[in-house]
Amino acid sequence: MKVRTWRVGLAVLALGAGPAFAADNSGWSYDNNVSGVAFASDCCEPSCADPTCSDDVACGDGCAAGGLFSGCGLAGPVESLSLASLMGLSDDSAIEVGGWTNIAYYNKNIPLSQNFDDLLSFDDIPDHANLAQQWFYIGKVADGSGGRDFGGRIDLIYGTDAQKTQAFGNPGAGVRGFGFYDASLDHGYYGWAIPQAYMEVANGDLSTKVGHFFTPIGYEVIPATGNFFHSHSYTMFNSEPFTHTGALSTYTGFEALTLYGGWTAGWDTGFDNLDGGSNFLGGFAANINENVTFTYLNTWGNFGWRGGKDSYSHSMVLVAKVTDKLQYIAQSDVLDATPNPNAGQRDTVGLNQYLLYAYSDIIGIGGRCEWWKDDGTSYNEITGGVNVKALSNLVFRPEIRHDWAPGADLDQTTAAIDAILTY
């Protein structure tokens, strides 16, 4: 589970694998990493399906280049917010700078969290309007198309999500305010995290990143900009790592096939190592045809805080464009974690399915159903929601979620809504 070791108890994301929501005829764009290891910036840029939208669009009419209230009042100054522009960077600059503000409200703890601020899910501060993610990033993609090139990236986050994305796999990170790297950067139930800090080198079809980076495992991602729903699946929070420290190479020299391979110092570590953490990280992404992509990624070895030697996990994700407006995603994860000094044996298996429909350039409709089994106890959830694009860079995501697990005496319905402003 993606919590600090001292919080492991009953109960408990991108970047994951696959575009969360992208339809050819819409202005929506959620792209977390269907064909490979993605940057958070891949899923934070407002898309524009129709840049010819008239400047005199009527208030409320919306257009592909904007949102429901584009053209109204102060919409222009808000939509023109850009950290890159404020820093004087041109549109064709190789340096990428940006960020977003994500404010969220939910009326109950999202399972497996049970108590206020217990760190057992992202959403453990109910009945508050929380600053979930205040995010900033700066980086440069290493482009090997013209020969050897160098790049790198740093991400910084403040908010209630930060403590769940810190390097809690480091030694000493079991108590708030302690631990190396960002594991000690706590501020009540808020905190700071540096989920990415890496260098990258590319040459031709081969690129390698070295440092601290997001896991490519799974479908859902940490950045709010990369997911359709505000809440996360059981699988994402409990059966997958969030970050790694190590090296990961990507090779794109084969047609319709991308290969990944590398080494990391266990799960969720930040430039440190716990209990001999050392594991392989790799797999492949295949474009089966122009509408279907399949990704398989696994970790094997010593996961550190999460499992001892010979631990194994994999995630398989199928993304299919059913129509120009409808997308189907299926994901299955398996985790077999062997005991070590900081973790006991744990076996989980999960199956997630998503249907995402681009009703218009302004409204998206989505559903998620999940079965997740943890050491013999089955948990289930079904979530429905909409994404409403108020402006080209402002999205609201209301949702209703129902969780049930007869073996854990769980039967709960939760309402949530958040807003994401990108710049």
Q: What's the confidence (pLDDT) of residue 65? A: 58
Measured torsion, CA atoms of residues 207, 212, 217, 220, in degrees rounded to the nearest 10: -110
Which pTM value belongs to this model? 0.88
Q: Which residues contact 352 (CB under 8 A, 6 or more apart)?
A: 219, 233, 235, 329, 330, 331, 332, 368, 369, 370
DSSP 325-346: SEEEEEEEEEEEEPPBTTB--E
Identify the CATH number of the domain defined by range 75-422.
Answer: 2.40.160.10
β-bridge partners, 351: 332, 371
Q: Tokens 């039967």 label which residue?
A: 411
99, burial (CB in 10 Å: exposed 0-12, middle 13-18, buried 19+) = buried
d(CA 383, CA 262): 35
Task: Yes or no: say if 295 and 16 are a contact pair by the CB < 8 Å rule.
Answer: no
d(CA 186, CA 192): 6
Q: What's the confidence (pLDDT) of residue 340? A: 87
d(CA 81, CA 108): 33
Pick the closest to residue 72 from 61, 59, 55 (CA basis): 59
DSSP 38-76: --GGGGSSPP-S-TT--TTPPTTT--TTS-TTTTSTTHH
Q: What's the confidence (pLDDT) of residue 344? A: 80
Q: Which residues of 187-224 are buried (b: 16+ CB within 10 A; e: fewer)?
A: eebbbbbbbbbbebbbeeeebbbbbbbbbbbbbbbbbb
Cis amide bond preceding 112, omega within 30: yes
Residue 119: both structure tokens together = 């760190």
pLDDT tens-digit profile, the chain (423 residues): 444 332 222 222 233 333 334 433 344 555 444 333 333 334 433 333 333 333 444 444 444 458 999 988 889 999 999 999 999 998 889 999 999 999 999 999 999 999 999 999 999 999 999 999 999 999 999 999 999 999 999 999 999 999 999 999 999 897 888 889 999 999 999 999 999 999 999 999 999 999 999 999 999 999 999 999 999 999 999 999 999 999 999 999 999 999 999 999 999 999 999 999 999 999 999 999 999 999 999 999 999 999 999 999 999 999 999 999 999 999 999 999 999 888 888 899 999 999 999 999 999 999 999 999 999 999 999 999 999 999 999 999 999 999 999 999 999 999 999 999 999
Domain definitions of the chain by residue range: 75-422
Q: Helix, strand, or coil here: 86?
A: helix
d(CA 299, CA 310): 10
